[in-house]
Structure 1
């Protein structure tokens, strides 16, 4: 979600926005999504609660935007790199995602837990966080099919679901989510 348009008065303070996002991610990681209040986030960020509401309508909007931005720093969409195989691109993308999860896995797990308790949060979490990453992988796999690197009888959407299922399962069960897993997944997907 983008910041609300100004209705006069002072322009949005980017430092306050950054502080709120950082506080939200830290508190959710430490306590879990459900146990963190808007007031607590504002206090930890050193701003008034109204400052938060001037930017986001709900706690979910703030947390998801913060998580989406944080993930975007680690897991940019895999681009078609000349001379680099689709398998290598998938492996590199997954390794980036897994690096992020090794640092922020507790926060992601807290958000997954919250999504199981709150249907509206689950829908927003899927739309803003999960689905964009699934689409990135599916796009890469479709590109591989177009290039003849992935068999035409393989289903890119289902493969993307399998890929995400594998690492979410491992993350939620405290198993390693690392470069080795990225390599193994890419090898399995592109096995002829």
Structure 2
């Protein structure tokens, strides 16, 4: 008999992590962050509670990673590209972000609302989601200064804050986030 011995304990698998993130996103899109429990997520994913806790410490950690992964599918970090100007890279990045918000705008609004009521979640949301996006844009703007595409007299961190403020404000107030708005933001940053 050629029977494989089962290892002690349950192995962690990429499929379980993927299932948990998909379940978390689906449930939060449907019910909102605060109305979704860990029990709901593990039941929907079809995994054991410990499987979730082997990967994430809290529901917030899981949700933020799921949202971050989803955002990365639409708007990956802009990398140095000799064939495209930084202006064009920023425009493409913002269009990707706005495309993602067509799907997950309600989810992000729910996460922002939850962050206002829960200091621990707010810190996790800022560190795990907001800050990395700000750094991506700030780094791109710094790269734009190297060849003179953006004046060295401009402050990339402040410009990044302006960019994020513009689209977060519009997101929170139900305004349109589309390619035209992305081009308008980029036009204000780079001029012309």
TM-score by length of 1: 0.91
Q: Mind listing any 5+ residue stretches in structure 1 that lack a counterpart?
A: 1-7
Partner of 2:33: 33
Larger gyration radius, structure 1 or structure 2? 2
Partner of 2:47: 47
| 1:21 matched to 2:21 | yes
Q: Mind listing any 5+ residue stretches in structure 2 that lack a counterpart?
A: 1-7
Partners of 2:21 and 2:83 in 1: CA distance: 38
- Please give the per-residue CA displacement for 1:108-159, whole angstroms capped at 9, x wherever unaligned: 1111111111111111111111111110100111111111111122110000
Partners of 2:187 and 2:54 in 1: CA distance: 47
Partner of 1:183: 183
CA-based RMSD: 1.5
Partners of 2:53 and 2:79 in 1: CA distance: 36
1:78: how far off? Answer: 1.0
TM-score by length of 2: 0.91
Matches within 5 A, 1:75-154: 75-154=75-154
Partners of 1:17 and 1:91 in 2: CA distance: 32
1:163: how far off? Answer: 0.3
Number of aligned residue pairs = 186
- Please give the per-residue CA displacement for 1:30-83, whole angstroms capped at 9, x wherever unaligned: 222111110111111122323222222211111111111111111111122213
Matches within 5 A, 1:6-17: 9-17=9-17
Partner of 2:70: 70
